[in-house]
């Protein structure tokens, strides 16, 4: 029954019906299905601008969904094993901020690693919560920050038993995972909510060879960047909640900062990408894993470059590793990661995700093919 429901894409179905209805638009957006700007229509295509619509009865409203968006969120929750899922069109940054704003108020404490995304820090500025930092250890050879050690995390909890929440990266940009299950269990023992930044972990929900996901270990909330590894359009995201979260209250918090002019192009991309992952995610990410492992092996055969993987796992600060991440250390060849980044882009027309002083990251995901 659930698998049959995953074949649905309620928002897309509503948009197709909307197009067939040929409704005369005297509402926004002002381009009126592309008729007001032929250059825009030529650039984006008629199919795209024709579904750039405003909220209305047949299309529901993201701020207070009662029909097709509500159903799309319910189906997404089922796909990710969550109690509730919210469609986010302001990027995962707004999902991260909604998590923190929904559980922390002024002067509340929240335990978090120092290597969090700027959106988490911005949320603290907005709500006035007090950060209790856990300093992640460093891998000196690679020059990357790791996950939280359980000893450091437990020390922070014992010293701050009044903290309202803990915040965890799953994984880091480089693919490093902390012991999310143990962190979640300990935080819950002390009555703290567990908020997980899974901006780079969408795929964890769809293949059992990958690290555990937030919902799988019983975390309370997770911000999931569907557009990064899940295949939806840039800026589209999901906010997942567990059974101990009041989703009506979370909706109110989301509506404080999320646009009232939600893009149906972004929402339909979430709908279609969720369907694709729910129906084909296991085979998709099996291929992604195979591609990443092949690339790692070939890079390591070159010499001096080091594409690292699960050999780093130490059961603590690197509890697990996301093997879809092609993270490559460049220091042994005498080049900074950012220099290799520039060489790949400028001389070989290859765009990788980022470069730092000692590493670059190539992102392998839904859209990659062998050739």
Q: What is the pLDDT of residue 2?
A: 61
18 contacts 51 by C-beta, under 8 angstroms? yes
Q: pLDDT tens for the chain, 371 residues: list them.
A: 567 899 999 999 999 998 888 888 787 888 888 788 899 899 999 889 888 888 888 999 999 999 999 999 999 999 999 999 999 999 999 999 999 999 999 999 999 999 999 999 999 999 999 999 999 999 999 999 999 999 999 999 999 999 999 999 999 999 999 999 999 999 999 999 999 999 999 999 999 999 999 999 999 999 999 999 999 999 999 999 999 999 999 999 999 999 999 999 999 999 999 999 999 999 999 999 999 999 999 999 998 999 999 999 999 999 999 999 999 999 999 999 999 999 999 999 999 999 999 999 999 999 898 87
CATH code reported for the domain at 44-276: 3.40.640.10
User: Residue 160: is it exposed, middle or buried by C-beta count within 10 angstroms (0-12/13-18/19+)?
Assistant: middle
Instruction: Determine the Cα–Cα distance for residues 344 and 236; give it in Å rounded to an integer.
Output: 28
Dihedral sign computed on CA atoms, order 74, 79, 85, 90: negative
Instruction: Determine the Cα–Cα distance for residues 163 and 134; give it in Å rounded to an integer.
Output: 13
Of the CA atoms within 13 Å of residue 253, those in its CB half-sphere come to: 23
* Radius of gyration, CA atoms only, the chain: 21
What is the domain partition of the chain in residue ranges? 44-276, 282-363
Q: What is the pLDDT of residue 274?
A: 98
Instruction: Determine the Cα–Cα distance for residues 61 and 320; give it in Å rounded to an integer.
Output: 40
**How many contiguous H segments (helices) and E segments (strands) does the chain have?**
13, 15
Strand duo 193-198 + 138-139: pairing: unpaired
Terminal C-alpha separation, the chain: 37
Instruction: Determine the Cα–Cα distance for residues 55 and 67; give it in Å rounded to an integer.
Output: 12
Using DSSP's 3-state secondary structure scheme, residue 130 falls into strand
Q: What is the pLDDT of residue 24?
A: 80
Structure pTM?
Answer: 0.95
């Amino acid at each position: 029954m659930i698998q049959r429901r995953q074949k649905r894409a309620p928002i897309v179905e509503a948009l197709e019906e909307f197009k067939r209805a040929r409704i005369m638009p005297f509402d926004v957006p002002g381009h009126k299905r592309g008729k007001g700007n032929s250059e825009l229509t030529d650039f984006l295509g008629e199919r795209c601008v024709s579904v750039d619509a405003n909220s209305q009865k047949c299309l529901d409203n993201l701020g207070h969904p009662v029909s097709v968006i509500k159903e799309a969120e319910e189906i997404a929750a089922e796909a990710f094993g969550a109690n509730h899922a919210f469609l986010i069109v302001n990027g995962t940054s707004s999902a991260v901020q909604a998590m923190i704003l929904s559980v922390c108020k002024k002067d509340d404490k929240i335990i978090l690693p120092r290597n969090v995304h700027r959106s988490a820090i911005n949320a603290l500025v907005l709500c006035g919560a007090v950060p209790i930092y856990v300093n992640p250890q460093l891998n000196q050879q690679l020059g990357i920050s790791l996950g939280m050690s359980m000893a450091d995390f437990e020390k922070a909890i014992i010293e701050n038993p009044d903290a309202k929440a803990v915040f965890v990266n799953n994984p880091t940009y480089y693919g490093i995972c902390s012991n999310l299950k143990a962190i979640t269990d300990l935080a819950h023992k002390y009555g703290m909510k567990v908020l997980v930044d899974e901006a780079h972990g969408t795929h964890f929900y769809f293949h059992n060879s990958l690290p555990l996901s937030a919902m799988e270990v019983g975390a309370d909330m997770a911000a999931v960047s569907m557009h990064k590894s899940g295949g939806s359009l840039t800026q589209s995201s999901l906010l997942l909640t567990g059974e101990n979260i009041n989703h009506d209250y979370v909706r109110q918090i989301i509506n404080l900062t999320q646009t009232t002019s939600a893009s149906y192009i972004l929402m339909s991309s979430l709908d279609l990408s969720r369907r694709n992952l729910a129906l084909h995610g296991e085979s998709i990410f099996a291929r992604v894993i195979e591609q990443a492992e092949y690339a790692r092996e070939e890079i390591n055969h070159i010499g001096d470059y080091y594409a690292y993987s699960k050999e780093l796992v130490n059961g603590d600060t690197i509890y697990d590793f996301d093997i879809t991440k092609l993270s490559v250390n460049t220091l042994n060849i005498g080049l900074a990661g950012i220099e290799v980044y520039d060489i790949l882009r400028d001389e070989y027309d290859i765009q990788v995700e980022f470069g730092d002083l000692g590493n670059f990251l190539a992102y392998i995901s839904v859209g990659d093919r062998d050739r």
